[in-house]
């Protein structure tokens, strides 16, 4: 197995809050023991002010007590996953960029050709394979741009739990991601070109440690997410904005589902076309359920276009 990774180092990116339900998957993947080093905080729930007064929403509990989510540093978390792949014998080509497809199967990279019976696209919102194959990913929402940044200092209110505040103009997310480091994400529905110096009120007075960045989080799903020799996973297949709350979980689960189906195809236990169809139907069902739920959320805010 070969993994082609364009970047030399993992990058900062929004999406540091992991639901407690992801922990069994991370243990199954073999990174449970290293998770603590990438975790900046644990919390039992989230403060939400969305179309009503502030309320605390716990993740849940069982006989062992409250469930705790993870507030991870994404650069460290992504590095942890990459190192685990290497430990399992994956040939990681880094830095290397895919530049085209081989006619006989596989990809062309700037480091040379890589023949392959199966290709898995995990390029996120760049949707590399979809662009190569001419597969459309039509928008399912108004254009949504999430801007985010980091600040150093002390914000006791966010040390206990993250916060999501929304109104008809959009929403803002704040959370502690490391001791003394806080991350904010803002999605403005009526100000696409948000002020580069904007920061949530509760973080003003803290020192900004990075420039404001942006990501297109318009809802999209590829018209076709798998074929006989390829699969798209994570945001490469389907994208929702961060209020969906389980982007990392969906990325891991779609990759694991694709892996099981690929193993069945290569092992002669499943027809390739049928495996691709099963994957697309499964992913589309999940996506449509999330679209319906998120549409309801935005309508409660009185947001236009939903």
pLDDT in tens, 249-290: 899 999 999 999 999 999 999 999 999 999 999 999 999 999
pLDDT at position 168 is 83
pLDDT at position 195 is 59
Lowest mean pLDDT among 7-21, 146-160, 259-273: 7-21
What number of residues does the chain have? 306
Model confidence pTM above 0.85: yes
pLDDT at position 125 is 92
List pLDDT tens digits, range 52-100: 899 999 999 988 889 998 888 888 888 899 999 999 999 999 999 999 9
Q: How far apart are the C-alpha atoms of 140 and 77, rounded to whole Å? A: 30
The residue assigned the tokens 């195809």 is 265
pLDDT tops 60 at residue 236: yes
Let me know if the fold of 1-76+145-216 is the same as that of 97-139+217-306. Answer: yes
Domain residue spans of the chain = 1-76+145-216, 97-139+217-306
What CATH number does the domain located at 1-76+145-216 have? 3.50.50.60
* Phi–psi pair at 155, nearest 5 degrees: -140, 85
Q: How far apart are the C-alpha atoms of 34 and 63, rounded to whole Å? A: 25
pLDDT at position 57 is 93
Q: How far apart are the C-alpha atoms of 17 and 252, rounded to whole Å? A: 14
pLDDT tops 90 at residue 190: no
Nearest to 220 by CA among 201, 199, 244: 244
Q: What percent of the chain has pLDDT over 70?
A: 95
* DSSP structural state of residue 111: T
pLDDT tops 60 at residue 160: yes
pLDDT tops 80 at residue 48: yes
Instruction: Give the distance from CA 36 to its chain's centroid.
Output: 20
pLDDT grade for 19, boundaries at 50, 70 and 90? confident
CATH superfamily, domain 97-139+217-306, is FAD/NAD(P)-binding domain (3.50.50.60)
> What's the whole-number mean pLDDT along residues 110-117?
94
pLDDT tops 90 at residue 18: no
């Amino acid at each position: 197995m070969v993994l082609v990774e364009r970047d030399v180092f993992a990058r900062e990116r929004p999406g540091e809050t992991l639901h407690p339900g992801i922990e069994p998957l991370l243990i199954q993947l073999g990174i449970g023991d290293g998770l603590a080093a990438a975790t900046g905080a644990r919390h039992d729930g989230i403060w939400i002010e969305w179309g009503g007064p502030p309320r605390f929403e716990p993740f849940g509990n069982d006989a062992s007590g409250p469930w705790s989510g993870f507030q991870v540093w994404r650069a460290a978390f992504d590095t942890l996953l990459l190192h685990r792949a290497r430990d399992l014998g994956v040939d990681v080509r880094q830095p290397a960029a895919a530049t085209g497809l081989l006619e006989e199967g596989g990809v062309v990279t700037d480091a040379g050709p890589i023949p392959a019976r199966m290709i898995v696209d995990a390029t996120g919102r760049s949707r590399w394979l979809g662009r190569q194959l001419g597969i459309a990913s039509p928008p399912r929402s108004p254009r949504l741009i999430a801007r985010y940044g980091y600040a150093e200092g002390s914000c006791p209110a966010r040390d206990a739990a993250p916060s999501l505040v929304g109104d008809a103009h959009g929403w803002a997310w704040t959370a502690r991601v490391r001791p003394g480091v806080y991350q904010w994400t803002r999605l403005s529905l009526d100000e696409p070109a948000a002020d580069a110096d904007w920061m949530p009120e509760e973080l003003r007075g803290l020192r900004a440690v990075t420039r404001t960045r942006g990501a297109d989080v318009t809802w999209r799903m590829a018209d076709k997410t798998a074929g006989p020799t390829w699969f798209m996973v994570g945001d490469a297949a389907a994208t929702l904005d961060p209020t969906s709350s389980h982007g990392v979980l969906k990325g891991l689960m779609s990759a694991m589902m694709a892996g099981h189906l690929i193993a069945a195809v290569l092992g002669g236990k499943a027809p390739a076309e049928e495996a691709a169809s099963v994957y697309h139907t499964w992913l589309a069902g999940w996506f449509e359920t999330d679209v319906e739920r998120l549409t309801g959320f935005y309508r409660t805010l009185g947001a236009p276009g939903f």
